[in-house]
């Protein structure tokens, strides 16, 4: 057993049991703990700091595109939820019901918001009167509750955190442009910050949001070949607006109904982060979103000058990176393991020998590469490496997705691909729900999206063999 | 009727009906709208931006003092809430109960968190083992629900937003130092950012938090002479820790129980802001917390050069202030009124005559003072004025509180003061709950705090005449 081995927190390997590996990482990287309520999670400081980083980046982009934050009530009266028929049908089976307040039994039940379209609908009807009031571009950061049967931290939990944008526009064109703009912002958050490559596309009618005309989506591929929907942007048309009476007088003095959108991303993104970049030593956090980018580990820190130098390095690096130091009396081996498990992009070792040589030793979390770096090149090198790690994580994930994407022209090819190279399947679809359902029943794979970038991989539906024009990405999904 | 008058949004004057004035300001300054659920509020973009500013300032101070953010579940099982006896007694009458999830009737009822001591208690018992794990300094930004009978936006609502800090310490001394540190941070938020002077003190046993050993509080005085508790910090002792088994091995290997604190401030602070600084023309927002500090209103904006100059001024001022421009086709009079109602600290007018004279006209929201300012002095003058407004608001509020504070040595003096000069009453108290209750029943005034800065205004209890050592501030309160 090597010296480092003995400090290794034991986690299941991905190859042995991917689901268990995920649970182990979530727990041992101190992202989440479990609470008394089935299916609820405690987001621990390290997990929450990652969420704060995602939120800060996204909030800035949401504001820069002219949106304003607002806060809507948590509780929705049953009668309000019922105003839009498709919407209530979609959500009723999975809401939590409040039936009592203090000692009083409520005459009307309340639901804890599973999403807030109806609250925004009611509010917009109050405040929109004229074309001058449009567009209305609101966003909310909030918690929502959905009564899920089986739950997993970040991926599917009773309660989760998210943002939900809700906008009103004078025309359908403007509203549809908005859904595209927001989908692109979500893609930017995933690709630029989280280093997660995404497919951009549209959901089939069966997979769209309850109450939407259509749903745009970004989809990404996890290590185990399963897909994860990482963000959605819905064009709601005038359905909610008609149900709630959101009308405005246009420039010609005529009464019109607004066109709406809604869009959201959730703490699920942290689940994606884990399953796209993580490895058998734990989490790997892309530098741009990492709460801590560099962790300094002093070696032989009881020796004169080591800790002083380590703290000086922390000061020195402050201007180029989010840097921290672990000067606790734990063994360096324990520390190495701990910060690998937490996925901190760079480890910086500094000991008496390094001080003699006027150098430090940097180790990349993504590749494991270890390198001595002269003190006077430190800032440059750290900056360079953080960029390199960010780029490498994205490139690696993209290569993985490409490798795990198979074209299928027949159901046989489809099924073989799912077994031999689990991941995305590109296959043509005739557009009929019957074929979509057949594929789902036969293979457990669902249509993930009709990508904006269409390729013509064949002329016929993979399922029924009829003429088909839509390329669809299919996959088993979370 | 003057030209400006005709654009004035009608609000009730404070002198006519203070409660109605408050409601009018809340609504007409676009802070809040009402939703379908009784007692819940929609916090509109302008109100939410003020909350975001408060949150940003406080979050930074919370983090700088070594605290970490975390997120706990919204729902608490009934059995967990019952673990600490005083706590459940205090909160049970005012919680919302979830009894059904989807189609399933729950075998155990869940409450929507009214506060999260029990969740933190359960979690801390899991993660604290050794003295090395201490102190644990956690904070949460969240929504909570309390089933209040009568509600008013920001002051008392079914749901509100807040932060709740929860910490564990090795000793009672450390924990008590923490409660003092956090109270001082709350005082700083109120005084430095919100320009609201506060009294710092301790609650009497009757007024303390359910489950606390003692509660520290900051109290401020509203325009109408009523007090508002603006923040509290509780020393919980070992009560929750014993109920939840939060123990640690100390340096000598002995098992000890942790000492805890909890502390919180809420969206109530926005209510305080309104009632401390507002006037009959609407809200007045202190510059340091104002989402917009300067509003540019172009005059005769259809004339050549005016809008160009106005936008150029916005660019010019960006580095010294949060500045916005209203270039809509609404009349200047409407705009003047609108931004006065919203309490924006400075209005900047720019019209053809100003351009000729190479000047702008600035108007202070706090004093109404209107002054021409040469273009080349603009940045300096704006910076200076924003400081002056901030200082003036604080000084004015402090003078108001001093003027509205009366010493009472007898119950007659006490009652006379409440009628003739409603505000704080300084009176000695013997320490008995009987006297406290008598005063409350007789006058509706409650003990607000035993101030840290004690004065000896008499030797005898204002109520029973017995020997008394505690000076107490009393007031009718929100």
d(CA A460, CA A450): 15
d(CA A95, CA A93): 6
Return the percentage of chain A with pLDDT > 70, whole number: 98
d(CA A117, CA A94): 16
Low-confidence winner among A263-272, B9-18, B391-400, B409-418 (lowest mean pLDDT): B9-18
- CB–CB contact A43 B70 (8 Å): yes
Q: Which candidate from A40, A122, A138 shows the least CB-CB separation from B73?
A: A40
| DSSP secondary structure code for residue A299 in this structure | S
Q: Which candidate from B35, B52, B123 shows the least CB-CB separation from A69?
A: B52
Q: How far, in Å, are A67, B191, B194 from residue B50 at the CA level?
A: 16, 16, 10
What's the whole-number average pLDDT of chain B? 95
Low-confidence winner among B7-11, B87-91, B104-108 (lowest mean pLDDT): B7-11
Question: DSSP 3-state assignment of B22?
Answer: helix
Q: What is the pLDDT of residues B1-12, one digit of tens each?
A: 344 444 556 899
Q: How many residues does chain A have?
A: 478
- Judge residue A315's burial from the number of C-beta atoms within 10 Å of its C-beta, 0-12 exposed, 13-18 middle, 19 or more buried: exposed
The token duo for B171 is 């000793």
Rounded to two decimals, the ipTM of the complex is 0.94
The token duo for A175 is 């509203």
Q: What is the pLDDT of residues B284-308, one digit of tens each?
A: 999 999 999 999 999 999 999 999 9
What's the whole-number average pLDDT of chain A? 95
Angle at A122 between CA A118 and CA A128, to 5 degrees: 130
pLDDT at A3 over 70: no
- CB–CB contact B97 A94 (8 Å): no
Closest residue in A to B76 (Cα–Cα): A37
Q: Which of A98, A132, A158 is the best mutation test for B, with the most CBs of B within 10 A? A: A98
Angle at B438 between CA B432 and CA B439, to 5 degrees: 95
In DSSP notation, B53-88 reads HHHHHHHHHHHHTT-EE-B--SEEEHHHHTTSHHHH
The pLDDT of residue A135: 98
The token duo for A432 is 């009929």
Contacts of B76 (CB under 8 A, 6+ apart): A36, A37, B110, B111, B112, B113, B116, B118, B119
Region A159-180: mean pLDDT is 98
Q: What is the pLDDT of residues A218-253, one digit of tens each?
A: 999 999 999 999 999 999 999 999 999 999 999 999
d(CA B231, CA B212): 15
Closest residue in A to B133 (Cα–Cα): A328
- CB–CB contact B72 A119 (8 Å): no
Q: Cβ of A264: how many Cβ atoms within 10 Å?
A: 23
pLDDT at A466 over 90: yes
pLDDT at B312 over 80: yes
- CB–CB contact B96 A93 (8 Å): no
- CB–CB contact A98 B96 (8 Å): yes
- pLDDT bucket at B163, cuts 50 / 70 / 90: very high
| DSSP secondary structure code for residue B467 in this structure | B
- CB–CB contact A112 B110 (8 Å): no
User: Largest alpha-carbon pair distance within chain B?
Assistant: 82
Closest residue in A to B89 (Cα–Cα): A102
Task: Say how many CA atoms lie within 13 Å of B253 toward its Cβ.
Answer: 0
- CB–CB contact B75 A145 (8 Å): yes
Closest residue in A to B103 (Cα–Cα): A93
Asked if B449 contacts B472 with a C-beta cutoff of 8 angstroms, the reply is: yes
Closest residue in B to A105 (Cα–Cα): B97
d(CA A430, CA A467): 6
The token duo for B422 is 């409603």
Region A123-140: mean pLDDT is 97
The pLDDT of residue A9: 64
Region B250-273: mean pLDDT is 98
The token duo for B406 is 């009366």
**Residue bearing tokens 């970040």:** A154
Q: What is the pLDDT of residues A340-383, one digit of tens each?
A: 999 999 999 999 999 999 999 999 999 999 999 999 999 999 99
Q: Tell me how close the Cα of B45 comes to any Cα of chain A, in angstroms.
A: 5
Q: What is the pLDDT of residues A275-322, one digit of tens each?
A: 999 999 999 999 999 999 999 999 999 999 999 999 999 999 999 999
Q: Tell me how close the Cα of B337 comes to any Cα of chain A, in angstroms.
A: 19
DSSP H stretches of helix in B98-141: 117-127
- From chain A, the residues in CB contact with B111 under 8 A are none
Asked if B260 contacts B241 with a C-beta cutoff of 8 angstroms, the reply is: yes
d(CA B142, CA A159): 13
d(CA B429, CA B444): 16
- CB–CB contact B102 A112 (8 Å): no
d(CA A351, CA A332): 11
Region B248-267: mean pLDDT is 97
- From chain A, the residues in CB contact with B97 under 8 A are 98-101
pLDDT at B142 over 60: yes
DSSP H stretches of helix in B295-432: 306-317, 332-341, 352-357, 378-403, 411-420
Q: Which of A31, A32, A34, A35 is the best mutation test for B, with the most CBs of B within 10 A? A: A35
d(CA A50, CA A54): 6
Question: DSSP 3-state assignment of B137?
Answer: strand
Region B318-341: mean pLDDT is 96
Angle at A39 between CA A37 and CA A40, to 5 degrees: 65
- pLDDT bucket at A85, cuts 50 / 70 / 90: confident
- CB–CB contact B98 A112 (8 Å): yes
- From chain B, the residues in CB contact with A98 under 8 A are 96-99, 112
Q: Which candidate from A42, A94, A112 shows the least CB-CB separation from B123?
A: A42
- From chain B, the residues in CB contact with A113 under 8 A are none
Q: How many residues does chain B have?
A: 478
- CB–CB contact A45 B35 (8 Å): no
CA Rg, chain A, in Å?
A: 25
- From chain A, the residues in CB contact with B68 under 8 A are 45, 48-49
Strand-pair partners of B396: none
- CB–CB contact B127 A75 (8 Å): no
- pLDDT bucket at A1, cuts 50 / 70 / 90: very low
Region B182-204: mean pLDDT is 98
Domains with residue ranges and CATH for chain B: 3-277 (3.30.930.10), 292-385 (3.40.50.800), 405-475 (3.30.110.30)
d(CA B149, CA A354): 67
Angle at A278 between CA A274 and CA A282, to 5 degrees: 105
């Amino acid at each position: 057993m090597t010296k480092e081995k003995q400090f290794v927190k034991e986690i299941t390997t991905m190859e042995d049991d991917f689901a268990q590996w995920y649970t182990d990482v979530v727990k041992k990287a101190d992202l989440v703990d479990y609470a008394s309520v089935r299916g609820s999670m405690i987001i621990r400081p390290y997990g929450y700091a990652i969420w704060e980083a995602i939120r800060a980046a996204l909030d800035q982009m949401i504001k820069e595109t002219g949106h304003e934050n607002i806060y809507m009530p948590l509780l929705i009266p049953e009668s309000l939820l019922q105003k839009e028929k498709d919407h209530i049908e979609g959500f009723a089976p999975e809401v939590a019901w409040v039936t009592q307040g203090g000692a009083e039994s409520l005459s009307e039940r309340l639901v804890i918001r599973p999403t807030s379209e109806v609250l925004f609908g009611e509010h917009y009807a109050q405040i929109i009167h004229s074309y001058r009031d449009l567009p209305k571009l609101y966003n909310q950061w909030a918690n929502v509750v959905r009564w899920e049967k089986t739950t997993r931290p970040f991926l599917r939990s009773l309660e989760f955190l998210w943002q939900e944008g809700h906008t009103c526009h004078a025309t359908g064109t403007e509203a549809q442009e908005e859904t595209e703009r927001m989908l692109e912002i979500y893609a930017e958050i995933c690709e630029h910050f989280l280093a997660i490559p995404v497919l951009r596309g549209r959901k089939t009618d069966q997979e769209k949001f309850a109450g939407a005309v259509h749903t745009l989506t970004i989809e990404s591929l996890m290590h185990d070949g399963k897909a994860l929907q990482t963000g959605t942007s819905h064009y709601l048309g005038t359905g909610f607006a008609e149900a709630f009476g959101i009308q405005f007088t246009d420039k010609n003095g005529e009464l019109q109904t607004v066109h709406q959108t809604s869009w959201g991303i959730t703490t699920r993104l942290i689940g994606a982060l884990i399953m796209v970049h993580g490895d058998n030593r734990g989490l790997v956090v892309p530098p741009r979103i990492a709460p801590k980018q560099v962790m300094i580990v002093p070696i032989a820190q009881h020796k004169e000058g080591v800790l002083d130098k380590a703290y000086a390095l922390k000061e020195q690096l402050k201007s180029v990176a989010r840097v921290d130091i672990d000067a606790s009396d734990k063994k360096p081996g324990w520390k190495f393991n701990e910060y690998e498990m937490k996925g901190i992009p760079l480890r910086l070792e500094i000991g008496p020998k390094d001080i003699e040589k006027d150098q430090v030793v940097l180790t990349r979390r993504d590749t494991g590469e270890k390198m001595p770096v002269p003190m006077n090149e430190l800032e440059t090198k750290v900056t360079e490496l953080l960029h390199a790690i960010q780029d490498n994580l994205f490139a690696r994930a993209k290569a993985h997705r490409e490798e795990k994407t198979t074209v299928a022209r027949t159901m046989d090819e489809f099924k073989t691909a799912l077994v031999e190279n689990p991941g995305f399947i590109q296959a043509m679809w005739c557009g009929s729900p019957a074929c979509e359902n057949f594929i789902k029943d036969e293979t457990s794979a669902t249509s993930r999206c009709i990508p904006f970038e269409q390729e013509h991989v064949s002329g016929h539906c993979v399922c029924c063999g009829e003429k088909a024009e839509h390329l669809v990405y299919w996959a088993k999904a979370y």
